[in-house]
Structure 1
Amino acid sequence: MQIGNVTAPFGPRRMSIALVNRQVQAADIKAGKSIDKWKVFRDVSEARGLLGLQDRAITVLDALLSFYPKSELSEEHGLVVFPSNEQLSHRAHGIAGTTLRRHLAVLVDAGIIFRRDSPNGKRYAHRARGGEIEQAYGFSLAPLLARVEEFAILAQQVVEERRLLKRAKEALTICRRDVRKLITAAVEEGADGDWETIDAMFVALVGRIPRSPSRTEVEAILDEMGLLRDEVLNILNMQQKAEKMDSNAVQIRCHIQNSNPESLSELEPRSRKEQGAPLEKEPKRIAKPMGPLPLNMILRACPEIAAYVPQGGAISGWRDLMSAAIVVRTMLGISPSAYQDACDTMGAENAATAVACILEREGHINSPGGYLRDLTRRTERGEFSLGPMIMALMRSSAGGELRSA
């Protein structure tokens, strides 16, 4: 049965609306349109994953195109090829008959080709007296010509995704190397820190890298590896500052003693009060707020916070997280002043993150408000950062033991 350019398949193969639509689409080809058959083949081959095609299907398509006599696909020269299964199998590197039929069906289902079946299902052509083909029955390559622009866009997407994946892998390799060598140097040189735990975190992160990761998986692990690297550098930097301060203090004491060694013990009072000098309150030292951690990492470590987004929305940015944190603050009984102090000291994003962490550990904290004030004071002294707390919660959600920040 033929209706215009739509042909029903021969035998038990069923007709479908999708098949009708693909044939109608293939028939809507602009007059005079042509394309290099191997150019479109390369695009389809590049985009095979997006099209749901395996390598064997690409091999069969390669064989089909080899039966098209021209290098340019065009309606002027016809778009139907009609090789036998034996001929196709030979050009497809000896592929078995059952495998050949299966992958031909895959190409049809993917809209790469469609069948132009004869009344008896055989593949052949009628020729005019001059030898030119008047009517052919076999496989139509019209979808390749009709969808050439679509295949080119899909191929570009695959190439770009491959480029981004390569860059992400390179960045992860560098970050992984940095963390490994920083930990090794810290241990070998006796730097203070819980390096055994940090090394275990590093090993766990490396163990989560799949054999063939997607870009999303690589970027997620890269975010966590970068956080771990920043934490290691932060620990080493804090230790270096402490050592520098101790060294400066020693130099100052030596300078005072050397400037007047005889009068120091005799004339210096034992305290500022004995000197009659008024006691001055030491100025409050506020650490510079650190930048926020990656939002996706926070949401993986603190999934409970998502239930408190106003009006039942989802957390798609920092504004949503901070709105949810205000709701949680009220629910946990954290005073507005405690939360404001945290915002002033840590930054609004980090204060919201701290509240999300407190919510996750609600059953282990007697006074959420007092706990937040303690974190704020420790931040002021440069003794606290959110990185270890987030990593501990992530290990806990993955089945590890919950560790206190």
Structure 2
Amino acid sequence: MEMDGITTPFGRRPMTLGMLVNQARTQTMAADASVDKWQLYRWLCEARPKLGISDRALSVLNALMSFYPKNELAAGETLVVFPSNAQLSLRTHGMAETTLRRHLAALVEVGLLARRDSPNGKRYVRRDRQGDIGEAYGFSLAPLLARAGEIETMAAAVTAERLLLQKLRERVTLVRRDIVKLIETALEDGISGDWMGFEAEYRMHILTLPRVATPEILMPILTELEKLRTAILKALEDNIFSHNTAGSGGQTERHKQNSKPESISDSEPRFDTKQGGNAETQTLGAAGLDGIREDELERRRAQRTIVPADPQKPYPLALVLQACPEIIPFGPGGTITSWRDFMTAAVVVRSMLAVSPSAYENACEILGPENAATVIACILERSGHINSAGGYLRDLTRRAQRGEFTLGPMLMALARANGNPAKRAG
């Protein structure tokens, strides 16, 4: 062995139990222990997070290992290196002496080095007449050899954790992409469903993602995101299945066909005029719609128009403000904190865009007050591309009355544009 026994540090440096255990470990390592020093250094670089040392401390250790003349650290050899601080500073690219001392102390504290101090604290070597090393004082690399197996195991664990984290990040990215694109598709195609609820749940999970993630943090978040994607796919599947009316005989009540010219669809009655009678009465009688009350029939005869759909459910205010930020300065006090503030701002913007009160009241009746105000905010965002704001609002209102317009696609398109300013400018 290259040390006869336990040594204590020079001067005011205290002796610790960690140093004692570290030196004792080198005394008990196998007599045939050996390891390639540069392979060992690569393991150290991999295991650095678990060892609790900095990359600059590893640079100092690399410089110390370069002073050892052989590539292999072996038991029974003199594993002490004794460079001066000036030489060590050169091999660490000019590191300051105080910085060197700090990192050397850190390496000794974590048990990667052991001090082999001389009586006067200097680093030097005594050689015999044949030039072989008799006594060497400096830093012993023996703890590295004694802990080589432990360091290799740490490096393997860190590598496995890094690969797992990489896979989890990839899976989270794919699931996030699926969720966003599925919700966008559903909104743009006007498919019924609680898509904004799914969007809000998705945002809640995304906010829990930290900047520096670990597998322990990502795993539960990924599980929740995969559950959300499954729920979205189930909602889409149910909706598509419910609209696929030509699949089986059990669905014929949703898609009735008749070869007779006077037959009609259950959901869209025709008003074909026939000679010698009332057209609507004849067609309704042919279809056998006994459930329609007489007063409802009279009202339809009088109006001869499609019954307006129920006002759409308003979208979350946070999403609306993200999509339409230009309306915020028109709120009370230059800010918007509630739907009341938002609708107050919409009235101001309506006047500014020269939209008539009747057009706005009609939109409120068909779309609902919140959604009508949202449409005004969307028109403000696109005011540079719209010639007549009032005409555009009336057209959207008529389309919504016929069931041909939903606010979701317009809102999501503006939200995406505000999330990517460069694309919006183009």
Relative to the length of structure 1, the TM-score reads 0.61
* 1:318-371 C-alpha deviation (Å, 9 max, x unpaired): xxxxxxxxxxxxxxxxxxxxxxxxxxxxxxxxxxxxxxxxxxxxxxxxxxxxxx
Q: Give, as a single letter, the amino acid of the residue that structure 2 aligns with 1:217.
A: I
* Cα distance in 1 for residues equivalent to 2:112 and 2:260: 89
* Cα distance in 1 for residues equivalent to 2:253 and 2:141: 85
Q: Which residue of 2 aligns with 1:117?
A: 117
Contact kept? 2:30, 2:75, Cα under 8 Å: no
Q: Which residue of 2 aligns with 1:65?
A: 65
Q: Give, as a single letter, the amino acid of the residue that structure 2 aligns with 1:50.
A: K
Q: Is 1:192 the counterpart of 2:192 in the alignment?
A: yes
Secondary structure at 1:135 match in 2: strand
Q: Which residue of 2 aligns with 1:48?
A: 48
* Cα distance in 1 for residues equivalent to 2:258 and 2:5: 99
Secondary structure at 1:152 match in 2: helix
Per the TM alignment, residue 257 of structure 1 is displaced from its structure 2 partner at its CA by: 8.3
Is the alpha carbon distance of 1:4 and 1:132 closer, same or farther for their aligned partners in structure 2, counting shifts above 3 Å? closer
Contact kept? 1:34, 1:73, Cα under 8 Å: yes
Q: Is 1:80 the counterpart of 2:83 in the alignment?
A: no
Secondary structure at 2:129 match in 1: coil
* 1:181-220 C-alpha deviation (Å, 9 max, x unpaired): 0011001001112222322222332233222211222222
Q: Which residue of 2 aligns with 1:223?
A: 223
* Cα distance in 1 for residues equivalent to 2:149 and 2:32: 16
Secondary structure at 1:138 match in 2: strand
* Cα distance in 1 for residues equivalent to 2:21 and 2:182: 60
Q: Which residue of 1 aligns with 2:137?
A: 137
Is the alpha carbon distance of 1:115 and 1:257 closer, same or farther for their aligned partners in structure 2, counting shifts above 3 Å? farther
Aligned length: 267
Secondary structure at 1:164 match in 2: helix
Q: Which residue of 2 aligns with 1:368?
A: none
Per the TM alignment, residue 245 of structure 1 is displaced from its structure 2 partner at its CA by: 5.4
Q: Which residue of 2 aligns with 1:104?
A: 104
Q: Give, as a single letter, the amino acid of the residue that structure 1 aligns with 2:37.
A: K
* 1:4-24 C-alpha deviation (Å, 9 max, x unpaired): 521111111111222111100
Unaligned runs of 5+ in 2: 265-284, 292-426
Which structure 2 residues correspond to residues 208-357 of structure 1 after superposition, within 5 A?
Answer: 208-244=208-244, 248-250=251-253, 253-254=256-257
Which structure 2 residues correspond to residues 141-180 of structure 1 after superposition, within 5 A?
Answer: 141-180=141-180
Contact kept? 2:31, 2:76, Cα under 8 Å: no
Contact kept? 1:35, 1:73, Cα under 8 Å: yes
Secondary structure at 2:29 match in 1: coil
* Cα distance in 2 for residues equivalent to 1:72 and 1:64: 14
Q: Give, as a single letter, the amino acid of the residue that structure 1 aligns with 2:49.
A: G
* Cα distance in 2 for residues equivalent to 1:32 and 1:208: 51
Secondary structure at 2:10 match in 1: coil
* Cα distance in 2 for residues equivalent to 1:130 and 1:252: 105
Secondary structure at 2:135 match in 1: strand
Secondary structure at 2:111 match in 1: coil
Is the alpha carbon distance of 1:252 and 1:24 closer, same or farther for their aligned partners in structure 2, counting shifts above 3 Å? same
Contact kept? 1:27, 1:142, Cα under 8 Å: no
Per the TM alignment, residue 256 of structure 1 is displaced from its structure 2 partner at its CA by: 10
Secondary structure at 1:183 match in 2: helix
* Cα distance in 2 for residues equivalent to 1:97 and 1:237: 69
Per the TM alignment, residue 251 of structure 1 is displaced from its structure 2 partner at its CA by: 6.2
* Cα distance in 1 for residues equivalent to 2:40 and 2:82: 20
Per the TM alignment, residue 175 of structure 1 is displaced from its structure 2 partner at its CA by: 0.5
Per the TM alignment, residue 41 of structure 1 is displaced from its structure 2 partner at its CA by: 0.9
Per the TM alignment, residue 250 of structure 1 is displaced from its structure 2 partner at its CA by: 4.0
Q: Which residue of 2 aligns with 1:359?
A: none
Contact kept? 1:172, 1:222, Cα under 8 Å: yes
Per the TM alignment, residue 235 of structure 1 is displaced from its structure 2 partner at its CA by: 1.3
Q: Which has the larger radius of gyration?
A: 2
Secondary structure at 1:49 match in 2: helix
Per the TM alignment, residue 33 of structure 1 is displaced from its structure 2 partner at its CA by: 2.2
Secondary structure at 2:257 match in 1: helix
Relative to the length of structure 2, the TM-score reads 0.58
Q: Identity percentage over the alignment?
A: 43
Contact kept? 2:123, 2:138, Cα under 8 Å: yes
Secondary structure at 1:47 match in 2: helix
User: Pairwise CA RMSD of aligned residues?
Assistant: 2.9
* Cα distance in 2 for residues equivalent to 1:185 and 1:252: 25
Q: Which residue of 1 aligns with 2:308?
A: none
Q: Which residue of 2 aligns with 1:23?
A: 23
Q: Give, as a single letter, the amino acid of the residue that structure 1 aligns with 2:252.
A: A
* Cα distance in 2 for residues equivalent to 1:213 and 1:37: 32
Secondary structure at 2:222 match in 1: helix
Is the alpha carbon distance of 1:229 and 1:252 closer, same or farther for their aligned partners in structure 2, counting shifts above 3 Å? closer
Which structure 2 residues correspond to residues 4-23 of structure 1 after superposition, within 5 A?
Answer: 4-23=4-23
Q: Give, as a single letter, the amino acid of the residue that structure 1 aligns with 2:77.
A: H
Per the TM alignment, residue 252 of structure 1 is displaced from its structure 2 partner at its CA by: 6.4
* Cα distance in 2 for residues equivalent to 1:175 and 1:65: 46
Unaligned runs of 5+ in 1: 272-405
Q: After the TM superposition, which of the residue ranges 124-133 and 71-80 deviates more from structure 2?
A: 71-80
Q: Is 1:39 the counterpart of 2:42 in the alignment?
A: no
Contact kept? 1:125, 1:133, Cα under 8 Å: yes
Secondary structure at 1:115 match in 2: strand
Q: Give, as a single letter, the amino acid of the residue that structure 2 aligns with 1:196.
A: M
* Cα distance in 1 for residues equivalent to 2:59 and 2:17: 28
Secondary structure at 2:41 match in 1: helix
* 1:25-52 C-alpha deviation (Å, 9 max, x unpaired): 0122222322111011111111011000
